[in-house]
Structure 1
Amino acid sequence: MLELTMASVSGADVGATAGMLMADAPSDPGAVLRVGRDASVCRLATPDDWLFVSRVHLEFLCGPEGTWHVSWLRGSQPDPSSEVLLTVGEYAQTIAYGGSVQLPRGGAGEIIIRDRTGPRSVNVGFYHEA
């Protein structure tokens, strides 16, 4: 099972959230959870006017052994207007535009989509059951 929580954060005050959303999916091969502006295909949808987030920005995909990967999907622009960071405890890793990383099994962390032009972010917490 992969559980996701998403908060949209704006302004210098980190506590100024625009709402909290939750989604989960069983760790079955081929299971998918998406984060982005297009609510018709994304289980976790950001505000429509947050253009630093692509229509479909992040895709969580369960592989054959029940392991989950997160991919930052390429959008229509050659250079993104955001940056994506994966944190697990003290460990932090940038996810490359168009790149993918495996989530730790039995672990929790956060994926942060930061607007490069202003103080806004989308914070996606995850918990991957062992």
Structure 2
Amino acid sequence: MLELTMATVSGAEEGATAGMLMADAPSDPGAVLRVGRDKSVCRLVTPEDWLFVSRVHLEFLCGPEGTWQVSWLRGSQDEPSSEVRLLVGEYAQQIAYGGTVPLPRGGSGEIVVVDRTGPRSVNVGFYHEM
């Protein structure tokens, strides 16, 4: 089971959030959870006017062994207006635009999508239950 929580953070003050959303999916091969602005395909949806987030920005996909990966899907622009980081404990890693990284099996962490033009972010916490 992969559990996701999403908080949208706006403003210079730390902790100024605009709601928390949750989604989960069993760790079955092919299971998918998406984050973005498009309500028709995303389980976790950001505000429509947050254009630094693509229609479908992040895709969490379960592989054949029950392990999960996250992909930052390429949008319609050549250059993204956001940055995406994976945080697991003290470990931090930039995720490349169009790139994919594995999530730790049985672990937890956070994916942070940061607006390059202003003090806004989308924080997606994850917990992979074994």
The one-letter amino acid of 1:64's match is P
1:47 matched to which residue of 2? 47
1:119 matched to which residue of 2? 119
Among the aligned pairs, what percent are the same residue?
85
1:26 matched to which residue of 2? 26
Moved over 2 A (4+): none
What is the SS of the residue equivalent to 1:75? coil
2:95 matched to which residue of 1? 95
TM-score (norm 2): 0.99
For 1:19 and 1:40, the matched residues in 2 are separated by: 20
For 1:46 and 1:78, the matched residues in 2 are separated by: 21
What is the SS of the residue equivalent to 1:124? strand
**Superposition CA RMSD, Å:** 0.4
For 1:95 and 1:102, the matched residues in 2 are separated by: 11
Unaligned runs of 5+ in 1: none
2:14 matched to which residue of 1? 14
For 2:123 and 2:39, the matched residues in 1 are separated by: 17
The structural deviation recorded for 1:62 is 0.2
The structural deviation recorded for 1:15 is 1.2
Between the two proteins, the alignment pairs up a number of residues equal to 130
